[in-house]
Amino acid sequence: MLLSHLLAAVALAAAPAAGSDGLSMRVPAAGLDLGDRADAAAFAERIADESRRFCAAYGPRVTPTSQGDLRLCERAMGAAAVSALPDDQWRRFMRAGGRRVLNRLQG
């Protein structure tokens, strides 16, 4: 159930996905080449920033069993945002080290 809430709450680029409760998180990748290290790092920063904002507002609804620790929500939303990338962009982001940057940013 948690995974379905997370996947429903994450959207990338132009079209946000909304869950049945209307929650959505948008992380724009516009203007970035995810195969470039600097751009992959910039996208990772966007994901980390947006997950912090999103989870500060909706964390208890997204991860109700861990209301005292928003880091779980932030990490889960970050992972969902990366997983939601189209396959070619996902590969480029991973090869450029974007996931490592995101892991470091989210501690």
Q: CB atoms < 10 A from the CB of 31, how many?
A: 7
Q: Which of residues 97 and 9 earns the better pLDDT score?
A: 97
pLDDT in tens, 23-63: 778 898 889 999 999 999 999 999 999 999 998 888 888 77
Determine the Cα–Cα distance for residues 92 and 39; give it in Å rounded to an integer. 11
In the predicted structure, residue 8 carries a pLDDT above the cut 50:
no
Give DSSP secondary structure letters for 88-101: HHHHHHHHTTHHHH
In the predicted structure, residue 18 carries a pLDDT above the cut 80:
no
- Average of per-residue pLDDT values in the chain: 80
Q: Global pTM?
A: 0.78
Q: Which pLDDT score, from 0 to 100, does residue 65 have?
A: 79
